[in-house]
Structure 1
């Protein structure tokens, strides 16, 4: 396939996926308003209304059981954590930064099984980064396995673009470079990233989150229940780790 045909195919798939997501946009508008309010609270008072972004009646499958995530830790651990996230969500990035090391340590100690479930919440109205990043995550998970996928997941958050200008700041070449840095082989991922080969995976992951009644990111489930103990991301992270340790 020529480079121009590849680009045309990628554009067509991106347009199709955006059209599917647009159907859900009306349901998300209230969430967007809530997120804006939360951001204003963060700016003005140093706190984020995490509860605005989550609902108590989330009913998700147990940690380690989803086809649309990556897990660390062992089955049978005394605690489980599920984190629904969008690679573009700045609060997800902040939570990831504050909890990653502790969750990895606790998982290695056998205290918790953690599953990260990325999906597309913010890829609508012309923004493609959430879709492209989640598509790339799915490719790396399939081609290179969960260990490399987890490292890629971490690198995506470490190099998270701004929400306002993500598509310009993080083109496909940058996403591919992060996948390779994580341990993937470029030849295994480049075509799939450029042509959105796992767009259906992204749609199904998003549908799974929606069916679980996940309405915002980050949504954290501790032992199957929504965990929102904290007014700030730092509070949330600290209290989560304290509950596990």
Structure 2
């Protein structure tokens, strides 16, 4: 196993947290899914064996900050606590988890992790930005699974009952139709939060990612489970826009 040492470090680290708590347990599951998707993207990009080790390590540690975040603040909401990617970078810098890698590779790993959740990437060298784009894509693929199958209250701070009577605010709807990722600071309603997941499609970097998302079909499931009392036409129009976008870009 190429990253056996790093997996052992990850497993030992998370054992320091309460894995009986759903939040921590589900983050471990999410991490393993992201590693597998990262491997798919890496094969698509024809990464070398060493580059694949770097990519898999980024995926393995991309959410390492989540465990300490939840322990300290009892939430995964960054703006109510701490940026989990920045915290993850700090944790890794204080550890010996990356010692097997060169100094340059360590910086690539740290940068990719730090910026995996940011609204936009900053300038980076060509290889680092490739890794950053890969983890952003892989993470989004599995967040859609989480959105579809994990308790909606814990993943979105909404409920099916409240969403039934909600609407998409005008500014957020415009972002979707303009093919923009959703700016979280602009969200006003619970349904705006749901739109964030649909906005993922406008920040996909590789065709393989779009194909994975399309095959999964997870993005539709929460919307198909309920009938919206006030926003059904609005939601139908947005889903149609998303599916047309997917068809043109996959």
TM-score by length of 1: 0.27
Query: More strand per residue: 1 or 2?
Result: 1
Query: More helix per residue: 1 or 2?
Result: 2
* Bigger relative contact order, structure 1 or 2 (CA pairs below 8 A, ≥6 apart): 1
Which protein is bigger by CA-based radius of gyration? 2
TM-score by length of 2: 0.27
